[in-house]
């Protein structure tokens, strides 16, 4: 009986051990497979690229535009300096030609090498004649590609003076010529006065830009130019130059400085300047309109003078009329006024004398009676 129980215990332990090994095997095998594939994935690219790494060459274009026009496209050529140099697909006898738009980059390639050695190339921008306003980069890069026995390429970039650099950059631009101030129409400010004033007066006019960033003539401040014109007379604000395309708006008006006796002209003129690009030269087209949006050649302002308005203004201001003699507005005495004053004074003195005499006589009479 004891032997039977012992055999049963041994079988149970053996079964438990086998079950444990089975569980370990079930967990270990999938894990091993996962580890194997991870190693395979990590190693395979290294082996493949080590065997034949294709070359891609990055070219960057730095583009600046001073005219607000659309960005341009510039062309480049990768030229082999050896007859058997590998080239990108699409190459011709001229080399590999490609273009870059605006301020962007482009990767040339892939270029596949099948043997070791030194392969040299030249890279430059295509200079296009007849394109006004465009600035081309004249530099040339020499590219040296060293390919080892594992067909792994190493790129070295050299400038024309043999200096080694880390990147290929071409600086292209579109720079327009500014407008010519001599060709700008400067409309006259014409000042007229009605009513025949006794003296000529000077009046103030302002040229105001809709945006303070707009170009302005010399002598301006914060987008405003001020001039003085003696009536009748004419004046000009001056000219200026534009460096960017667009539409620019200015207003011209007379400032009411409250010159005595004048009614001011409230007209506001608008100057509209349209600047366009014609083959790299900025050209100005200008129109001038009045308050009724009617085109005009000159800006005319007419002030109305009135002597009665001037006199009324003087009275309201306490300054007297044209016969005033100053002194805080006191009226000067005429000859008639002086005679009247003298007569009144003599009359008053006479009345006082008579009254005094009557009083004296009455007192004297009472004194004689009493005696």
**What pLDDT, in 10s, does the model give residues 122-156?**
999 999 887 778 889 999 999 999 999 999 999 99
pLDDT confidence band for 326 (50 / 70 / 90): very low
**What pLDDT, in 10s, does the model give residues 333-360?**
444 555 566 667 777 777 777 787 777 7
CATH class as words, domain 55-174: mainly beta
Least confident interval from 213-217, 306-310, 336-340: 336-340
pLDDT confidence band for 45 (50 / 70 / 90): very low
Over residues 97-114, the mean pLDDT reads 95
Over residues 295-302, the mean pLDDT reads 96
What the block records as the tokens of 368 is 């004689």
* Rounded Cα–Cα distance for residues 136 and 134 (Å): 6
* Domain residue ranges of the chain, discontinuous segments joined by +: 55-174, 181-311
How high is the mean pLDDT of the chain? 82
What the block records as the tokens of 184 is 């700008």
**Which of 240, 186, 238, 245 shows the shortest CA–CA distance to 68?**
245
For the structural domain made of 181-311, what CATH number should be given? Answer: 2.60.40.3050
Q: What is the pLDDT of residue 311?
A: 52
The 3 state secondary structure assigned to the chain is CHHHHHHHHHHHHHHHHHHHHHHHHHHHHHHHHHHHHHHHHHHHHHHHHHHCCCEEEEEEEEEEECCCCCCCEEEEEEEECCCCCCCCCCCCCCCEEEEEECCCEEEEEEECCCCCEEEEEEEEECCCCCCCCEECCCCEEEEEEEECCCCCEEEEEECCCCCEECCEEEEEEECCECCCHHHCCCCCEEEEEECCCCCCCEEEEEEEECCCCCCCCCCCECCEEEEEEECCEEECCCCCCCCCCEEEEEEEEEECCCCCCEECCCCEEEEEEEEEEECCEEEEEEEEECCCCCECCCEEEEEEECHHHHHHHHHHCCCCCCCCCCCCCCCCCCHHHHHHHHHHHHHHHHHHHHHHHHHHHHHHHHHHHHC
Q: What is the pLDDT of residue 7?
A: 55
């Amino acid at each position: 009986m004891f032997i039977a129980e012992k055999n049963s215990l041994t079988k149970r332990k053996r079964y438990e051990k086998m079950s444990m090994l089975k569980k370990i095997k079930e967990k270990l095998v999938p894990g091993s497979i996962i580890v194997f594939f991870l190693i395979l994935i990590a190693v395979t690219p290294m082996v493949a690229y080590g065997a034949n790494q294709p070359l891609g060459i990055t070219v960057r274009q730095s583009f600046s535009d001073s005219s607000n026009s659309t960005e341009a496209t510039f062309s480049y050529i990768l030229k082999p300096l050896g007859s058997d140099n590998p080239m990108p697909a699409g190459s011709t006898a001229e080399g590999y030609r490609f273009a870059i738009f605006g301020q962007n980059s482009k990767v040339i390639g892939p270029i596949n090498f099948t043997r070791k050695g030194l392969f040299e190339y030249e890279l430059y921008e295509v200079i296009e004649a007849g394109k006004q306003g465009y600035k081309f980069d004249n530099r040339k890069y020499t590219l040296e590609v060293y390919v080892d026995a594992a067909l792994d390429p190493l790129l070295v970039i050299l400038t024309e003076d043999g200096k080694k650099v880390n990147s290929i950059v071409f600086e292209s631009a579109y720079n327009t010529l500014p407008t010519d101030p001599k060709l700008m129409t400067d409309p006259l400010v014409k000042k007229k006065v009605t009513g025949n004033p006794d003296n000529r007066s000077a009046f103030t006019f302002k040229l105001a830009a809709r945006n303070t960033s707009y170009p302005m003539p010399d002598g301006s401040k914060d987008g405003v130019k001020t001039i003085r014109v003696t009536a009748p007379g004419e004046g000009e604000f001056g000219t200026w130059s534009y460096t960017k395309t667009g539409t620019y708006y200015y207003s011209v008006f007379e400032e009411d400085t409250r010159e005595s006796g004048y009614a001011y002209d409230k007209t506001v003129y608008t100057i509209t300047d349209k600047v366009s690009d014609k083959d790299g030269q900025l050209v100005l087209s200008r129109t001038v309109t009045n308050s009724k949006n009617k085109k005009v050649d000159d800006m005319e302002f007419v002030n109305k003078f009135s002597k009665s308005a001037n006199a009324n203004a003087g009275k309201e201001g306490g300054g007297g009329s044209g016969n005033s003699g100053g002194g805080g507005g006191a009226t000067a005495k005429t000859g008639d006024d002086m005679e009247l004053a003298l007569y009144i004074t003599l009359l008053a003195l006479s009345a006082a004398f008579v009254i005094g005499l009557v009083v004296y006589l009455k007192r004297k009479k009472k004194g004689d009676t009493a005696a």
